[in-house]
Amino acid sequence: MSDFFKVVYIKELKEVEPMPCRWEDKKILHWPASKKAWIKYTCEVKQSNIMLFNHALSAADGICENSFTEEERDELKQLIDLKFSVIAIKLDHIDERLGVCGLPPEKDHDTNILFPLNDIHKVQELEQKLNIAEFKAKIFGHFRRVNETGLFWKSACYKLCGFLFTKSLLTNYSWTGLSRTSAVKGPFNKYGNILDLFYKVVHYSDNSFNYSQRDLLFRDGVLKHGITRLNGSNKKKTLL
Protein backbone atom coordinates (compact mmCIF):
# COMPACT_ATOMS: atom_id res chain seq x y z
CA MET A 1 0.00 0.00 0.00
CA SER A 2 2.85 2.42 0.82
CA ASP A 3 3.88 2.48 -2.82
CA PHE A 4 0.42 3.34 -4.12
CA PHE A 5 -0.84 6.86 -4.74
CA LYS A 6 -3.85 8.95 -3.78
CA VAL A 7 -5.39 12.29 -4.70
CA VAL A 8 -6.04 14.80 -1.92
CA TYR A 9 -7.46 18.31 -1.60
CA ILE A 10 -5.16 20.46 0.56
CA LYS A 11 -7.44 22.84 2.45
CA GLU A 12 -4.88 25.50 3.41
CA LEU A 13 -3.51 25.73 -0.12
CA LYS A 14 -6.79 25.02 -1.94
CA GLU A 15 -4.95 22.61 -4.22
CA VAL A 16 -5.67 19.14 -5.55
CA GLU A 17 -2.53 17.00 -5.59
CA PRO A 18 -1.52 13.40 -6.43
CA MET A 19 0.97 11.90 -3.98
CA PRO A 20 2.21 8.66 -2.37
CA CYS A 21 -0.34 7.12 0.01
CA ARG A 22 2.03 7.21 2.97
CA TRP A 23 2.20 11.02 2.92
CA GLU A 24 -1.39 11.26 4.22
CA ASP A 25 -2.57 9.84 7.54
CA LYS A 26 -5.91 10.55 9.25
CA LYS A 27 -6.62 13.57 7.03
CA ILE A 28 -3.21 15.09 7.79
CA LEU A 29 -0.79 15.56 4.90
CA HIS A 30 2.92 15.43 5.73
CA TRP A 31 4.55 17.37 2.89
CA PRO A 32 8.30 16.61 2.43
CA ALA A 33 9.53 20.18 2.09
CA SER A 34 13.01 19.20 3.21
CA LYS A 35 14.93 16.30 4.66
CA LYS A 36 14.83 17.82 8.15
CA ALA A 37 11.18 18.76 8.57
CA TRP A 38 7.83 17.84 7.07
CA ILE A 39 5.11 20.48 6.76
CA LYS A 40 1.66 19.37 7.94
CA TYR A 41 -1.60 20.31 6.20
CA THR A 42 -5.18 19.29 6.74
CA CYS A 43 -6.58 17.58 3.69
CA GLU A 44 -9.48 15.64 2.24
CA VAL A 45 -8.82 12.39 0.40
CA LYS A 46 -10.54 12.40 -2.99
CA GLN A 47 -9.30 9.06 -4.31
CA SER A 48 -6.92 6.42 -2.95
CA ASN A 49 -5.22 3.09 -3.69
CA ILE A 50 -4.11 4.16 -7.19
CA MET A 51 -1.36 1.88 -8.49
CA LEU A 52 0.43 4.26 -10.89
CA PHE A 53 1.31 7.93 -10.46
CA ASN A 54 0.24 8.59 -14.04
CA HIS A 55 -3.27 7.39 -13.14
CA ALA A 56 -3.28 9.55 -10.00
CA LEU A 57 -2.30 12.52 -12.14
CA SER A 58 -5.23 11.85 -14.49
CA ALA A 59 -7.60 11.49 -11.54
CA ALA A 60 -6.44 14.84 -10.16
CA ASP A 61 -7.02 16.42 -13.57
CA GLY A 62 -10.54 14.99 -13.60
CA ILE A 63 -11.30 16.43 -10.18
CA CYS A 64 -10.02 19.81 -11.33
CA GLU A 65 -12.24 19.68 -14.41
CA ASN A 66 -15.36 18.95 -12.36
CA SER A 67 -14.77 21.22 -9.36
CA PHE A 68 -13.19 24.50 -10.48
CA THR A 69 -13.56 27.41 -12.87
CA GLU A 70 -11.58 27.42 -16.12
CA GLU A 71 -8.99 29.82 -14.68
CA GLU A 72 -8.62 27.72 -11.53
CA ARG A 73 -8.32 24.53 -13.61
CA ASP A 74 -5.44 25.94 -15.66
CA GLU A 75 -3.60 27.06 -12.53
CA LEU A 76 -4.10 23.74 -10.75
CA LYS A 77 -2.96 21.73 -13.75
CA GLN A 78 0.27 23.73 -13.88
CA LEU A 79 0.84 23.09 -10.19
CA ILE A 80 0.18 19.37 -10.58
CA ASP A 81 2.61 19.11 -13.49
CA LEU A 82 5.23 20.95 -11.45
CA LYS A 83 4.75 18.53 -8.55
CA PHE A 84 5.23 15.62 -10.97
CA SER A 85 8.57 17.11 -12.02
CA VAL A 86 9.64 17.47 -8.38
CA ILE A 87 8.72 13.87 -7.59
CA ALA A 88 10.57 12.67 -10.71
CA ILE A 89 13.70 14.45 -9.48
CA LYS A 90 13.33 12.94 -6.00
CA LEU A 91 13.03 9.45 -7.50
CA ASP A 92 15.97 10.14 -9.77
CA HIS A 93 18.18 10.81 -6.75
CA ILE A 94 17.53 7.33 -5.37
CA ASP A 95 20.69 6.12 -7.09
CA GLU A 96 22.71 8.75 -5.21
CA ARG A 97 21.27 7.63 -1.86
CA LEU A 98 22.19 4.08 -2.80
CA GLY A 99 25.80 5.16 -3.14
CA VAL A 100 26.34 5.29 -6.90
CA CYS A 101 26.60 9.09 -7.13
CA GLY A 102 29.80 10.28 -8.74
CA LEU A 103 30.94 6.94 -10.08
CA PRO A 104 33.22 7.24 -13.12
CA PRO A 105 32.18 5.68 -16.44
CA GLU A 106 32.38 1.91 -16.26
CA LYS A 107 33.58 -0.35 -19.04
CA ASP A 108 32.05 -3.78 -19.45
CA HIS A 109 35.17 -5.67 -20.48
CA ASP A 110 33.16 -8.63 -21.80
CA THR A 111 31.39 -6.42 -24.35
CA ASN A 112 33.91 -3.57 -24.79
CA ILE A 113 31.26 -0.86 -24.20
CA LEU A 114 31.74 2.17 -21.98
CA PHE A 115 28.79 3.01 -19.72
CA PRO A 116 26.90 5.23 -19.22
CA LEU A 117 26.23 5.87 -22.90
CA ASN A 118 26.58 9.56 -23.81
CA ASP A 119 26.03 9.55 -27.59
CA ILE A 120 23.03 8.60 -29.74
CA HIS A 121 25.31 6.58 -32.04
CA LYS A 122 26.38 4.47 -29.05
CA VAL A 123 22.71 3.81 -28.28
CA GLN A 124 22.15 2.64 -31.85
CA GLU A 125 25.26 0.48 -31.64
CA LEU A 126 24.05 -1.15 -28.43
CA GLU A 127 20.62 -1.78 -29.95
CA GLN A 128 22.21 -3.57 -32.92
CA LYS A 129 24.63 -5.64 -30.83
CA LEU A 130 21.78 -6.86 -28.63
CA ASN A 131 20.59 -8.88 -31.64
CA ILE A 132 23.51 -11.21 -30.88
CA ALA A 133 22.43 -13.75 -28.26
CA GLU A 134 25.88 -14.17 -26.69
CA PHE A 135 26.37 -10.41 -26.42
CA LYS A 136 22.91 -9.95 -24.89
CA ALA A 137 23.62 -12.64 -22.29
CA LYS A 138 26.88 -10.95 -21.28
CA ILE A 139 25.22 -7.53 -20.97
CA PHE A 140 22.37 -8.98 -18.92
CA GLY A 141 24.83 -10.72 -16.60
CA HIS A 142 26.76 -7.48 -16.12
CA PHE A 143 23.76 -5.34 -15.17
CA ARG A 144 22.13 -8.11 -13.18
CA ARG A 145 25.12 -7.87 -10.86
CA VAL A 146 24.84 -4.06 -10.79
CA ASN A 147 21.12 -4.10 -9.83
CA GLU A 148 21.05 -6.50 -6.91
CA THR A 149 18.02 -8.70 -6.22
CA GLY A 150 15.42 -7.47 -3.73
CA LEU A 151 15.60 -3.84 -4.90
CA PHE A 152 12.14 -2.28 -5.38
CA TRP A 153 11.43 -1.78 -9.09
CA LYS A 154 11.23 2.03 -8.99
CA SER A 155 14.61 2.23 -7.29
CA ALA A 156 16.02 -0.40 -9.64
CA CYS A 157 14.77 1.50 -12.72
CA TYR A 158 16.37 4.81 -11.82
CA LYS A 159 19.55 3.11 -10.66
CA LEU A 160 19.81 1.19 -13.94
CA CYS A 161 19.08 4.34 -15.98
CA GLY A 162 21.99 6.02 -14.23
CA PHE A 163 24.32 3.21 -15.24
CA LEU A 164 23.07 2.90 -18.82
CA PHE A 165 22.62 6.52 -19.95
CA THR A 166 23.82 10.01 -19.08
CA LYS A 167 21.04 12.49 -18.29
CA SER A 168 22.18 14.75 -21.12
CA LEU A 169 21.86 11.89 -23.62
CA LEU A 170 18.25 11.19 -22.62
CA THR A 171 17.23 14.79 -23.39
CA ASN A 172 17.64 13.88 -27.08
CA TYR A 173 14.65 11.52 -26.89
CA SER A 174 10.95 11.40 -26.20
CA TRP A 175 8.94 8.19 -26.07
CA THR A 176 7.47 8.54 -29.59
CA GLY A 177 9.79 11.19 -31.06
CA LEU A 178 7.20 13.94 -30.68
CA SER A 179 8.21 17.12 -28.85
CA ARG A 180 6.25 19.90 -27.16
CA THR A 181 8.96 22.33 -28.31
CA SER A 182 10.82 22.95 -31.57
CA ALA A 183 13.59 20.60 -30.44
CA VAL A 184 14.11 17.50 -32.58
CA LYS A 185 13.66 14.33 -30.56
CA GLY A 186 14.38 10.72 -31.40
CA PRO A 187 11.76 8.02 -30.64
CA PHE A 188 13.09 5.95 -27.74
CA ASN A 189 10.36 3.33 -28.08
CA LYS A 190 12.02 2.05 -31.27
CA TYR A 191 14.87 0.54 -29.22
CA GLY A 192 13.10 -2.75 -28.55
CA ASN A 193 16.26 -4.67 -27.65
CA ILE A 194 17.40 -2.08 -25.10
CA LEU A 195 13.93 -1.84 -23.57
CA ASP A 196 13.72 -5.64 -23.35
CA LEU A 197 17.11 -5.77 -21.64
CA PHE A 198 16.00 -3.03 -19.24
CA TYR A 199 12.84 -4.96 -18.39
CA LYS A 200 14.68 -8.23 -17.75
CA VAL A 201 17.31 -6.63 -15.49
CA VAL A 202 14.74 -4.77 -13.36
CA HIS A 203 12.42 -7.80 -13.29
CA TYR A 204 15.35 -9.81 -11.95
CA SER A 205 15.56 -7.34 -9.05
CA ASP A 206 11.78 -7.17 -8.46
CA ASN A 207 9.57 -9.74 -10.20
CA SER A 208 6.48 -7.55 -9.72
CA PHE A 209 7.84 -5.23 -12.43
CA ASN A 210 5.91 -5.41 -15.72
CA TYR A 211 6.12 -4.00 -19.26
CA SER A 212 3.43 -1.38 -18.65
CA GLN A 213 5.37 0.05 -15.69
CA ARG A 214 8.52 0.12 -17.80
CA ASP A 215 6.88 2.05 -20.64
CA LEU A 216 5.15 4.53 -18.30
CA LEU A 217 8.37 5.18 -16.40
CA PHE A 218 10.29 6.00 -19.57
CA ARG A 219 7.46 7.98 -21.20
CA ASP A 220 6.18 10.01 -18.26
CA GLY A 221 9.21 10.10 -15.98
CA VAL A 222 12.65 9.61 -17.51
CA LEU A 223 12.02 11.13 -20.97
CA LYS A 224 9.18 13.61 -20.47
CA HIS A 225 11.09 15.33 -17.68
CA GLY A 226 14.58 14.80 -19.09
CA ILE A 227 15.49 18.50 -19.08
CA THR A 228 14.17 18.93 -15.53
CA ARG A 229 16.18 15.94 -14.35
CA LEU A 230 19.33 17.25 -16.04
CA ASN A 231 18.92 20.76 -14.62
CA GLY A 232 18.15 19.37 -11.17
CA SER A 233 21.31 17.29 -11.26
CA ASN A 234 23.43 20.24 -12.43
CA LYS A 235 21.94 22.48 -9.74
CA LYS A 236 22.79 19.96 -7.05
CA LYS A 237 26.38 19.70 -8.31
CA THR A 238 26.65 23.51 -8.17
CA LEU A 239 25.40 23.57 -4.58
CA LEU A 240 27.90 20.89 -3.62
Q: How many separate domains does the chain show? A: 2
Per-residue pLDDT, averaged over 88-92, amounts to: 50
Closest by CA position to 81, among listed 235, 233, 221, 232: 221
Q: Are residues 25 and 116 in the same domain?
A: no
Q: Are residues 15 and 47 in the same domain?
A: yes
Q: Are residues 105 and 189 in the same domain?
A: yes
pLDDT above 70 covers a percentage of the chain that reads 70
Q: Are residues 121 and 82 in the same domain?
A: no
The boundaries of the domain holding residue 57 are: 5-92
- pLDDT given for residue 72 in this prediction: 54
- From 39, 69, 92, the end of a domain falls on 92
Q: Are residues 119 and 17 in the same domain?
A: no
- From 67, 92, 117, the end of a domain falls on 92
- pLDDT given for residue 239 in this prediction: 35
Q: Are residues 88 and 190 in the same domain?
A: no
- pLDDT given for residue 81 in this prediction: 56
Q: Tell me which H or E stretch contains 186.
A: strand 186-187
pLDDT band at 94 (very low <50, low <70, confident <90, very high): very low
Burial 181-216 (b: 16+ CB within 10 A, else e): eeeebbebbebebbbebbbebbbbbbeebeeebbeb
Q: Are residues 190 and 85 in the same domain?
A: no
Q: Rounded CA gap, 47 and 122, in Å?
A: 44
Residue-wise pLDDT tens digits, 142-200: 888 877 778 889 889 988 998 999 999 999 999 999 887 777 899 999 999 999 999 99
Q: Are residues 172 and 217 in the same domain?
A: yes
Least confident of 10-14, 58-62, 92-96, 169-173: 92-96
The residues pairing with 117 across neighbouring beta strands, listed in sequence order, are 165
- From 65, 92, 119, the end of a domain falls on 92
pTM for this entry: 0.55
Q: Are residues 111 and 225 in the same domain?
A: yes
Q: Rounded CA gap, 208 and 145, in Å?
A: 19
Q: Write out 192-216 in H/E/C secondary structure.
A: HHHHHHHHHHHHHHCCCCCHHHHHH
Q: Rounded CA gap, 5 and 69, in Å?
A: 26
Q: Inform me whether the pLDDT recorded for 211 exceeds 60.
A: yes
Q: Are residues 131 and 223 in the same domain?
A: yes
Q: Are residues 218 and 112 in the same domain?
A: yes
Q: Are residues 176 and 160 in the same domain?
A: yes
Residue-wise pLDDT tens digits, 102-131: 444 444 445 567 889 999 999 999 999 999
